[in-house]
């Protein structure tokens, strides 16, 4: 799903240059196909609620090491 290079982008020989929306779409498709529905358990850290009503936080393993940055939009919060 790589896109051809243009005059503003360069890549190593044999490698594709992706635009941002194509990369995001490809990654989302890969994640959705590997994890169609899942539940994640972790500690909430760094919680904040923006003026917009959206909530931002991280879920992390209790032992540390790994963290997943999250957003919960106002309609779900």
The pLDDT, as a whole number, for residue 1 is 47
Tell whether pTM > 0.75: no
For the chain, give the mean pLDDT: 85
The pLDDT, as a whole number, for residue 8 is 52
Q: Across residues 54-75, what is the average pLDDT?
A: 92
The pLDDT, as a whole number, for residue 77 is 83
Is residue 19 very low, low, confident or very high in pLDDT (cuts 50, 70, 90)?
A: very high
Burial 16-52 (b: 16+ CB within 10 A, else e): eebeeeeeeeeeeeeeeeeeeeeeeeeeeeeeeeeee
């Amino acid at each position: 799903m790589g896109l051809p290079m243009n005059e503003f982008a360069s890549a190593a020989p044999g490698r594709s240059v992706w635009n941002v929306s194509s990369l995001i779409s490809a990654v989302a498709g890969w994640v959705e196909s590997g994890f169609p529905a899942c539940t994640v358990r972790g500690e909430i850290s760094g919680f904040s609620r923006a003026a917009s009503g959206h909530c931002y936080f991280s879920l992390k393993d209790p032992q540390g090491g790994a963290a997943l940055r999250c957003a919960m939009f106002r309609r779900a919060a």
